[in-house]
Structure 1
């Protein structure tokens, strides 16, 4: 369970209900990477429910909270003694069962693309699907292949920030392990306190 928890990852799913500002910017259809960049810049906070499936087919669920720049939290379902949280500088994986805490710089994770306040997708990303309903963008740092690959899945929803609704992502790590994360109940730019990204260290 632990080894799969951080490789958080997504085939696109049907558009879900979403609470967003009424002044959402509509994505430019002829510039998909620019649209994704506009979406990321338009999202200051985000909350959602998530389901995470690893390469063995095991699925865990929980709640997802994001606050840019650099803060993220995956609170797993009751009974799963795991927590993944980023406090703005480091990403922590906490295992309350073994009482182990690992951490590394946020930029060393495939999820760094979601947390960067000024993402440069033209350097690290490419469009792998773009049709009337779906946009898939794959990001990988060519200078740091050990960080893995993340494919972000968006539905095109005019009311969402920059016209895109993030539905999840697929991560493939350096060992070629694939993890799928699907989001539902997405809410954008809602109040999120910084205390949401603190955690109690196991004793």
Structure 2
């Protein structure tokens, strides 16, 4: 058998090995990108679009707004569409304000957050609170599956999508099968965010409900 005929299967084998290795590296990037993000990004701000889907996918609700966080344990969601709402965490409590109803709901931080995306980004210990598994690329993003180690929370699993090293999306599935997807836009990391952004004072006349 000639050297030429030997070279073709050998080349094909080597090409396959290279492709498999490259795929493995790409898959490893998502969990590594998440670890790096959690370890190094102390603050960020971004626009977001949130889509909440029923378990069968038949019903969907979409909202949008801005998101800010600063470690440890402080974050703020300002929903602008379709209704104005604010969710502010000061590290001790989480304040949820419905502007149309002029109603504020207050919960202790640990009870409100548990093992959620906000807790993961702002203060959770990644490998203590979650098990990680890389998933196949989808929609131009690299995905990692984060499953909460604790069984007491309402969150069944989280999927975090990266575009290279940039956080691009979250998908959260709760115990009832409802899925919520957040897609981030104009993400600015290490942003200089005033501390006052994470303090909430109930407006005059608002109903305040402590839970």
TM-score by length of 2: 0.69
More strand by share: 2
CA contact (8 A) 1:145 1:174 kept: no
Q: Of 120, 136, 139, which residue of structure 1 is paired with 2:146?
A: 139
- Distance, in Å, in 1 between the alignment partners of 2:134 and 2:87 is 28
- Distance, in Å, in 1 between the alignment partners of 2:151 and 2:129 is 16
CA contact (8 A) 1:138 1:150 kept: yes
Q: Tell me, what secondary structure is at the counterpart of 2:200?
A: coil
Q: What stretches of structure 2 of length at least 5 have no aligned partner?
A: 1-24, 54-58, 207-211
Runs of 4+ in 1 over 6 A off after TM superposition: none
- Cα distance, 1:76–1:36 mapped onto 2, change above 3 Å: same
Q: Which structure has the bigger radius of gyration?
A: 2
- Ranked by relative contact order (alpha carbons within 8 Å, sequence separation 6 or more), the top structure is 1
Q: Of 151, 154, 169, which residue of structure 1 is paired with 2:159?
A: 151
Which residue pairs with 2:126 in the alignment?
Answer: 119
Name the count of aligned residue pairs: 168
Q: Of 113, 116, 121, which residue of structure 2 is paired with 1:110?
A: 116
- Distance, in Å, in 2 between the alignment partners of 1:174 and 1:104 is 21
- Distance, in Å, in 1 between the alignment partners of 2:74 and 2:68 is 8
Deviations 1:106-126 (A, max 9, x none): 451412111126432685222
Name the Cα RMSD after superposition.
2.6
